[in-house]
Amino acid sequence: MAAVENGMGNSELLGQHAFLADLGIQAHNPGVFGGSAVGGAWSGSGPVITSVSPSNNKPIATVQEGSVQDYEEALNACESAKATWMAVPAPKRGEIVRQIGDALRAKLAQLGRLVSLECGKILPEGIGEVQEFVDICDYAVGLSRMLNGAVLPSERPSHFMMEQWHPLGIVGVISAFNFPNAVLGWNAAIALVTGNLVVWKGAPTTSLITVATTKIIAEVLKRNGLPGAIFTCVCGGAEIGTAMAEDKRINLMSFTGSSHVGQLVQQKVAARFGRCLLELSGNNAIVVMDDADLQLAARATLFAAVGTAGQRCTTCRRLYVQEGAYDALIPQLLKAYKQVRAGDPLEEGTLLGPLHTKDSKTRFLDGIGKIKAQGGKILTGGARIDREGNYVEATIVEIANDAGCVKEELFAPVLYVMKFKTLEEAIELNNSVPQGLSSSIFTTNPETIFKWTGPNGSDCGIVNVNIPTNGAEIGGAFGGEKATGGGREAGSDSWKQYMRRATCTINYSKDLPLAQGIKFE
């Protein structure tokens, strides 16, 4: 639900970023690029916004978003197409998702570059994000032949009891700027094979990725003679998100974003007895024990804290080091930080790209001021980088365990380092924040490992050992507890969130025995 127009003149834009044309974002009329889909048609009658590259704060393109009226047309089209898609056998739906995965694979380099250009993450991460979508498509294809229910023993003679799983209908997906492609994939691939239609609202600041991804999926549906409304995107702001949360036609609302906004979404969805899948904030910790491989811990912490410029929900923000390892680990980490190259995310060798917006850079600087006011000592970084774009230094802060800022999520490459004495203390510190997404411990002691992963260990949804807090695989269920929302996406049995369960009992006799031996004659 958008029309796209370049922000610098057609020839200049296509000359600098020729790969955009390969994604369907190209001039059709003077100054006009592609759009996004309502029932397979491309349009938009909402406000015009500008997509800006965070590496230089220069416009890439202007996007005309969808209006609330456009959204209504989209949902009406979904309602009309719902019965058609739900009636397609699951393995046949898997074949469509396989083709989507292949279409994404064919555009992997181009779409990955667009993620880097518009989102700001470095190119290997941009390509890796699209690869996640490809991988979840492969996973979903296999899942399409394994959506099995259970056969249950009946206490009544000549009765057969089973569980069946059916599509919910329409799944709404609201994704965030930091994973503008992969988070959609986790939801869409599973939602589609389980027989649901998908309505997607990407982040307004990554609208070109929304448009390009939708074009790829729409072409697959068109080639197979299927209604375009099976996958619909509506570019837009808070008014579209509110409409989705309040819409009874959307059976499951998947939201990725802040805990504050996620709570509002949950309230609106619950008020209409809808289902909610929430992937919210993280304030993730790495714990390093005295017996840990410190070189491994340093490498993992670097990626966990600096990757995506600290803008992952699974970014490591707290590093707890046992007293005996502290003086050995921190110098290693500082040395590694000094080797981090900041710069254009599209350039080879860059490890630290820009923050996503100017406001993000302002929040970083405000956060550094707050850290210093609470007694934090800047060991490295702590300032903006003097160049075009939203660049800041990767930062390490030595601070007290009980400092208030440690409990908050500063969405930037800022790592708090703190000491602890015992494993029990480390577990308590890990669990002391409102969020509960990801956690990791570095140790070679089996007893420590099983205490950390046990019921009295980390209270997070992701509990790692000797690997970073980020970089989750699609085969496992992804999500967290507490203020992280409790949702689960991708692997394991996450597919059950996208379906409804029906317990079916069949009497194949001429008698009517009642359960629990009740007589009613």
The Cα–Cα gap between 111 and 106 comes to: 10
For residue 505, the tally of other CB atoms under 10 A from its CB is 12
Shared domain for 241 and 314, answered yes or no, is no
Shared domain for 289 and 275, answered yes or no, is no
Determine the structural domain holding residue 348 and report its residue range. Answer: 284-473
Q: Does 9 fall in a domain? A: no
Q: Does 181 fall in a domain? A: yes
Q: Does 105 fall in a domain? A: yes
pLDDT of residue 214: 94
The Cα–Cα gap between 323 and 315 comes to: 23
Phi, psi of 332, deg, nearest 5: -60, -45
Residue 340 DSSP one-character state? P
The Cα–Cα gap between 326 and 234 comes to: 50
Shared domain for 296 and 389, answered yes or no, is yes
State pLDDT tens for residues 268-279.
999 999 999 999
Shared domain for 365 and 406, answered yes or no, is yes
Q: Are strands 159-167 and 499-507 parallel, antiparallel or unpaired?
A: antiparallel
CATH of the domain at 226: 3.40.605.10
Sole residue written with tokens 């064919």 = 106
How many separate domains does the chain show? 2
Shared domain for 330 and 276, answered yes or no, is no
Shared domain for 250 and 325, answered yes or no, is no
Q: Residues near 114 by Cβ (< 8 Å), separated by ≥ 6?
A: 19, 20, 23, 126, 208, 209, 212
- Kind and range of the H or E run holding 428: helix 423-430
pLDDT of residue 40: 56
Cα dihedral sign for 207, 246, 72, 499?
A: positive
Q: Does 152 fall in a domain? A: yes
Q: Does 223 fall in a domain? A: yes
State pLDDT tens for residues 132-150.
999 999 999 999 999 999 9
Q: Does 197 fall in a domain? A: yes
CA distances from 440 to 59, 246, 281, 299 (A): 39, 37, 17, 13
CATH of the domain at 333: 3.40.309.10
pLDDT of residue 39: 56
275-279 sheet: strands from edge to edge: 231-233, 197-201, 170-174, 252-256, 275-279
Q: Residues near 501 by Cβ (< 8 Å), separated by ≥ 6?
A: 149, 163, 164, 165
* From 118, 125, 279, 409, active-site residue: 279
Residue 505: left if φ>0, alpha if ψ -120 to 50, beta else—which one? beta
CA distances from 78 to 38, 75, 249, 321, 404 (A): 9, 5, 9, 52, 47
Closest residue by Cα to residue 285 from 520, 452, 511: 452
pLDDT of residue 6: 40
Q: Is 174 helix (H, G, I), strand (E, B) or coil?
A: strand
Looking at the DSSP bridge assignments, the partners of residue 5 are 32, 62
Q: Determine the longest span between alpha carbons in the chain, in angstroms.
A: 87
Shared domain for 386 and 496, answered yes or no, is no
Shared domain for 136 and 159, answered yes or no, is yes
For residue 373, the tally of other CB atoms under 10 A from its CB is 11
pLDDT less than 70: residues of the chain: 1-17, 26-41
Shared domain for 171 and 261, answered yes or no, is yes
The Cα–Cα gap between 7 and 60 comes to: 5
pLDDT of residue 297: 98
Shared domain for 398 and 491, answered yes or no, is no
pTM of the model: 0.94
For residue 43, the tally of other CB atoms under 10 A from its CB is 18
Whether 279 is a known active-site residue: answer: yes
Q: Are strands 316-322 and 414-420 parallel, antiparallel or unpaired?
A: parallel
Structural tokens at position 287 = 């714990």
Shared domain for 255 and 316, answered yes or no, is no
Q: Does 17 fall in a domain? A: no
Q: Are strands 377-380 and 395-398 parallel, antiparallel or unpaired?
A: antiparallel
Shared domain for 329 and 266, answered yes or no, is no
The Cα–Cα gap between 440 and 301 comes to: 10
Q: To the nearest 5 percent, what fractions of the chain are helix, strand and coil?
A: 40, 25, 35
Q: To the nearest 10°, the Cα dihedral for 435, 440, 445, 451?
A: 20
pLDDT of residue 45: 84
